[in-house]
Structure 1
Amino acid sequence: MPRDACPICGKPGTADFKPFCSRGCKDRDLLQWLGEGYRVPGEPANPNAHSGLDSPDSRD
């Protein structure tokens, strides 16, 4: 794939939608992130861990 190619379809990217070639490819990429099609590798989150973000003291 050429260096400036759209990561979705491989067409040349444009300045308006860089690194994508169009709004359609840009939106498809966003939908992949929102639909959990893409994932960042790492340790699984512990659902029992408390971050403290929901406690009243964290708003001060």
Structure 2
Amino acid sequence: MATCPICRRLPADAKYKPFCSKRCADVDLQRWFAGSYVAPGGSDETPSRDEDEG
């Protein structure tokens, strides 16, 4: 059985899976809002081209 990714306890309530409680689910959500987690991906910026270049 998998453990809670926040506190490493066994999940106590299937409602909050994979977390063990609402508290751990809220901690995870707050980490996303704070920018502690970053999803991998490319840059959002489009490279600019100078019209004077070839």
TM-score range, shorter-chain basis?
A: 0.7 to 0.9
The question of 1:10 aligning with 2:8 is answered yes
Runs (5+) with no aligned partner, structure 2: 48-54
Across the aligned residues of Structure 1 and Structure 2, the Cα RMSD in angstroms comes to: 1.7
Q: CA deviation at 1:43?
A: 1.1
**2:44 aligned partner:** 45
Q: State how far apart, in whole Å, the 1-side matches of 2:34 and 2:43 are.
A: 18
Q: How many residues align?
A: 46
Relative contact order, higher structure (CA 8 A, sep 6+): 2
Query: 2:41 is aligned with what amino acid?
Result: G
Q: State how far apart, in whole Å, the 2-side matches of 1:46 and 1:12 are.
A: 42
What's the TM-score once normalised by structure 1's chain length? Answer: 0.66
Task: Give me the identity figure in percent.
Answer: 39
Answer with 1 or 2: which has the greater Rg: 2
